[in-house]
Amino acid sequence: MELIPKDIKFLTIMNETRLTNGKMLGRYFEEISKQFAFSNSELNASVKRLVKMDMLSVIDAGGKDMVYFHTDKVSRDLLDKELMTVKH
């Protein structure tokens, strides 16, 4: 499976990121959505691919919250440099 440009963007923003009910909320979502447009269905589809590719690991944080982390397969060279500057 090959990464498409949006997968790379999603991979970049999903390190230590919480999704509630499959949605990114709060100030971080506002900042990210200024950088590129995406739907929750695109986000969820990409996250599922990235987990399947073992590029993201997931922790059930209880309720409807899941927290995602980069795995050892993710190198900084692969990530979107501009999105790396957006802080949680």
Per-residue pLDDT reduced to its tens digit, 11-57: 999 999 999 999 998 899 999 999 999 999 999 999 999 999 999 99
Q: Tell me which residue has tokens 């690991």.
A: 57
Comparing CA positions, the residue from 69, 72, 51 lying closest to residue 12 is 69
Tell me the pTM: 0.91
Q: Facing residues of 84 across strands?
A: none
Element (H, E) at 55: none
